[in-house]
Structures are given as structure tokens and as C-alpha cells.
Amino acid sequence: MSSGPPGGATSWPKLLAALAFPIFMALAMPAAYLAAFHEPEPTNMVVQIVGTGDRAQKLATGVGVSTEGRFDAAVVADTETAKRALADLDSRAAYDPETGDLFIASAGGAAAAQAVTAVFTEVAGQSGQTLSVTDVAPLPEQDRVGVSFLFIGLAAILAGFTTATMLGMVLPGLGLGRHLAILGGMSVITAVIGTWIAYGVYGALSTNLLAVGAMLTVLSAVTGLIHLGGLRLIGSEMTVVSVILFIILGIPASGAGVPADMVPGFFGSLQHFLTTSSGLDALRRIIYFDGAGIAADLTTLAIWTVAAIGMFTLATLKRPGKGGEEVLPIAVPTEPAERRLFTRRLTAGVMTLPLLFAIVMPLVFVGLFHSPAPRSMPIAVIGSGAPVTETVAGLEAAAGDALDVVVVPDAGVARQQLEDLELRGAVDPMRGDVYVASAAGMQAAAAVESLLTGVVESGGHTATITDVAPLPAEDSVGASSLYLGIGAAVGGFLAAVIVGVFGGGLRTRVQALVVVAVAVISAAIQVLWGWTVFDIFDGSALSAFGMLTALGITIGLITLAGFKLIGPAQLLITLFVFIIPGVAASGIAVQLDLAPSFYGVLHAILPTAQGLGAIRDVIYFDGAGVGSSLAVMGAWAAAAVVCLVWASRRAGKADRSGEETADDQAVETDEGQVLVGAVDAP
């Protein structure tokens, strides 16, 4: 898959074939993540019943039958044995029917802990007991969501992948020894960076630092070895294979975001087969469970390492004495000293991309997820009079700057403001009614519900919860819009990159139209299967199509314009300024009033953040507030168009100047030939 020089003749068949990749990425990643995450529920989740008699056995059987196989209950003799199973992640919960005690390990997966707690709360209630929950492996205060390991692990994986990509495609002539040395060195460096950010910058993690650093090194190195071996064996087609294995399948199978026993069986079965899932599982076990049960993960990584060595061997047999093929040809100086300097500079440049992944991803995402807390969260108190005044004063005194408390006259106004995304929650202290909108963010809704329920109960009432914008069963996590939007943004980005590389001979107008076409096609297919397969659009398919298209076009045009103005450096800007920070600042994964204020600033200015939020708003809130999002995306798209027009005119002037110079030289040559002929004439 080599490219011609920019400005040369464009091969349309080659360009169209290459454009299949951004369309594939725009569709495959959201499809896999939606299939895995859009409706998580326990699947044969292992729980234990403490006891030795018939009662324990009957209860275990009853739990399995009543939950229709969602839980696989077994009997264990005593609580100590049950706790050891929890510590080894062999079980999700242990319930003692004699005492009403439930033992969980939330560090093994917060969603799983919530699921088992809900089930055994009902079981205890049926026997007249009050459930007493003991968390034997709680999440630390500075990593309350429990996903910091996911982002330092993912950064290591991407660093290994991009290091191998750059070595195989940009520096294939260095030889295997140097490739392995650079890959090993980069694995260590990126692991140190990720560890330092998680432990030193944010304090999200605090235990087993050296083991975590070693695991990150291994994970990055194994990822790089597999990809580099594949590049040498089958060429650039290995990129698609690696993306599928490492990202599209590896992350859903890891259990890092959603526990592996809460995703469809296909993904759960891959957990101890793929390197990404095994490596991330190993990180969780090292950080929270002192490495218990890590042997299976290490075995998987060792097997894949052997497979990588096999690919290197086969590649050598296939092309004796040669390294990988040069995929991105670059003019190399012929003079030895200049060649050595060029190689050193190119090697340093190759390290830039993986280093940026190692730095930016943990900084942005660990900073977002490690300790979400309310910050000026808008809450309304319904009614008037002394009780309302007292409630407002109590909330402000207890929460301080965490809440922004206002008074509204009635429940109708509160509901409307919740639907317009102006409030996070509302409470009527006289009636005991609590209103939330979970579609605007599950974390914020849960925090508000807990807080306002306490307010109601302190006044002697029983809280009645009303969700004015509930999430549908088909999207119970509320992240479908995020996956779709990421696909649209990545598709637009990759389309612009490919057009810039393979379509150098096309006019700027045609290049832009190709980017627009890819965005439209990708969005149309996304909406089609999102509607027909996952049923996530309820009367909003057309609006969602428009927003997905707008986001893909905006990111694509920005990338194409930057490519024209500053060259390949724009690729780094799009990735590490627009896409990664934009996803974090979208307010979907973590709501903005639970995140540091920095993310709110990013949300206001980045088109990716605005576009992702707008996709959610058109799906669940009838487009409330999307005007500002469209304005931001429109401004960025317009600026990109202006830059493209300017770059096109500049290139046109340069071409005309070159033609005039060539014509002048031709005239001078002709005149010289005439003069020479005149002199030589007899």
C-alpha cells in the first residue's frame, strides 16, 4: 500500500480501496462496542452461598432458577473460603443466609458488585433480613470508578502498536536487531510515563508500583512484537488485523469497562485469549488483588510472544536477508554522514507518536475518571415557604460549591428544565418527590438521587423517584452515542489522512468532497444498523444521521486543511488535540459537573466534544441545546474551508509560477540554440 508523491497522478482504484479502511473503522468499532456494552447484564455470573445444609443448597438452586441463569450460584462451606474466592476473582459475591451478610469485591468490577447487591437485597428481603454488605476489596478514594488501569494499559498498548507501525512502515531498513531494541526501549519509556502519571500526578493508584510498571512494559512490548512480526510477514494488511485484535475485540473482552461476565458470551470467551484483555485483566489483579490469579493472563501473553517470534521467522524465510517492505517510501540521502544523521532524526520522529499516546491518554482520561465529584451541579428545590428555604439552606451548607441550588415554583417547571438539560435533579421536600434525568448521565443521576433521597428522608418522608428522561433497556449504560460519535470522528480523520496521502493529484475541492462522501456513507450505515440491529434510535434516526455526518465532516475537513498547511504534523494535532481530549470533554463518559473545570473549557471550544454531546441530545432530549453545538462545529468547519481555499489558491499560484519559469527556461534554451547555430553557420 505505497503512495505516490503528493501532487502526482492519483490512482482512483487505489484511493477507493484505501477509503474502505476509514469506513470500516467508523462502523466496526462502534458495532463491537454496542454489541458488548449497550445492554450489559449478568451472564452466568458466579456467586456463592455460605452454608452446609439443605437450606444453602436450596437457596443456591433458587437463585439460579429465579434469575434465569444470569447467576450461577454454588455452595461454599464458610466465609473465609468465600472471601478467598472473591480475592481470586473466582466469585462475584458470597451470601450467608444465616446472618444476612453479603461479601463483595467492588475492585473486581463496580457494575458486577451493584448487580449482585441488587439480587441479594431481594433475597434477604424475602427471608425478612436486612442485607449487610461487606466490601473485601473496595476501590480507593482516588480511583472511585476503578478504571485508571484501563487507560494506562490502553496507552501502553497503543504505544507498542504505533511504535511497531512506524518502524515497519517508515524505518524498515534498520534491521530486526535495531527494531527490537527500539521497541523494547519505547516499551520501558511508555510504561514509566503511564505509571508516573497514575501514581505521581493524580495519585489514582498507590500499590504495587513496580509490578504495574513491569506489566505495562510487557503489554506494550508484546503488542509491538505481534504487530511488527505481522507487518514483516504480510505487510500493511496487518494493521487491520491488529486493530481488530487489540482494540475492536480486545477492549470489550477485557472486562475493564464492563465486567466480562456482563457482556455477551462471545466477548467474555475472549478474555483469556487476546493480549489486550489478558494484559488489562492482569493489571487489575496486580493493582487491587496483589496479583492473585495472574498466571492465566501471563500464559496468554507468553503464547502470543511465541506466535510473534514465529511470524518473524516465517518472514525471514519468505524474504531471506531482508526486513519488512518499505510501505511509505522516503527519499534517503546517499552520502554516508548525511544518511546517518537522517536516520537518527527519522528514528526520533518515529518515537513522537507513541510517546504522545503514552502521555496524553493517561493525562486526559485518568484525570477525568479517577475521582469524579459534583462541581456546581444545578439542583432545584420545588415549592415556596419556610420548608423550601430551610431545604435550600441545608443543601448549600452541606454541599458548598458542589451544588448550585435554585428554587422553582412547581414540578412542571422542574421537569421541563431537566428535559432542557438545565438541571441535574429536583426535590419537593413537602411531598418527598425526587426528579432526575438518567439519560443526561448515569453517574450524575445516581449522585443526585442519593443526595436528594437523604434530604427527603431527613424530613420524615419516603422518597418517590421519577426519572423524566430514562435510558431505554437497549442502551442501559447511555454510552451508545459516544461509541457512534467516536466512529464518526475517527472515520472522518482517517478519510482525510488517506485522501491526503493517496489523493495528492486531486484538486482540493475533490479531496474535500471525498471526505464529505465518506462521512455521509459512514453515518448512513451507522444509523441503519444502529436502528435495525440495536434499536437505539427511537424516532431520532434522521437527526442522529445529521449529527454523525456533521461531526465526521468537521473532523475530516480540519484534518485535511491542516494537512495542506503544515503537513503530516496535523495528524498529531487532530488525534491529541481534537479527538482524545474531545471524547473526554464530551460530558458523556463523565458528566461535566462531575469533572474538573478544565474539561468544561475543552467542551466549549472543541468540535468533537460538542458533536458527541449533540448526538446524545438528539437521541434522548429531542435536540435540546444543540444549537450551540452546531455553532461550534460550524465555526470550525468554516475555518477549515477557508484554509482549504487559501491553500488551494497558494498551490495554484505556485504551479503557475513553476510553469512560467519552465517556459522562460525553454525560451532561453531555444534562443541559445539559435545563437549557437548562427555562430556555427559558415
- How many CB atoms within 10 Å of residue 369? 23
**Residues forming a β-bridge with 161:** none
For residue 661, pLDDT beyond 90: no
Q: For residue range 571-584, what is the model confidence (pLDDT) as tens digits?
A: 999 999 999 999 99
Q: Which of 65-79, 191-205, 324-338 has the lowest mean pLDDT?
A: 324-338
For residue 538, pLDDT beyond 90: no
pLDDT band at 651 (very low <50, low <70, confident <90, very high): confident
User: Can you tell me the distance from the alpha carbon of 169 to that of 327, in angstroms, rounded to the nearest whole number?
Assistant: 5
Q: Which of 234-238, 252-256, 272-276, 333-337 has the lowest mean pLDDT?
A: 333-337
The pLDDT value recorded for residue 156 is 98
**pTM metric for this prediction:** 0.89
The pLDDT value recorded for residue 1 is 43
The pLDDT value recorded for residue 400 is 82
Grid cell locating 209: 508500583
Residue type, 420: D
Q: Locate the DSSP E strands across 86-142.
A: 93-96, 101-104, 132-135
For residue 280, pLDDT beyond 90: yes
Q: For residue range 468-525, what is the model confidence (pLDDT) as tens digits?
A: 999 988 888 888 999 999 999 999 999 999 998 888 788 999 999 999 999 999 999 9
Q: For residue range 380-435, what is the model confidence (pLDDT) as tens digits?
A: 999 988 889 999 998 888 888 889 999 999 999 999 999 999 999 999 999 999 99
The pLDDT value recorded for residue 498 is 93
Give the β-pairing of 45-50 and 132-135. unpaired
Distance of CA 602 to the CA centre of its chain: 17
For residue 444, pLDDT beyond 60: yes
For residue 664, pLDDT beyond 70: no
For residue 679, pLDDT beyond 80: no
Q: For residue range 297-323, what is the model confidence (pLDDT) as tens digits?
A: 999 999 999 999 999 999 988 755 444
Q: 76 in helix, strand or coil?
A: strand
Average pLDDT over residues 290-296: 94
pLDDT band at 175 (very low <50, low <70, confident <90, very high): confident
Average pLDDT over residues 279-306: 96
For residue 10, pLDDT beyond 70: no
Helix/strand/coil (H/E/C) assignment for every residue in 288-329: HHCCCCCHHHHHHHHHHHHHHHHHHHHHHHHCCCCCCCCCCC
Radius of gyration of the chain, Cα coordinates, nearest whole angstrom: 29
For residue 553, pLDDT beyond 50: yes
Mean pLDDT over the full length of the chain:
89
Q: Which of 320-324, 337-341, 404-408, 632-636 has the lowest mean pLDDT?
A: 320-324
Q: For residue range 232-241, what is the model confidence (pLDDT) as tens digits?
A: 999 989 999 9
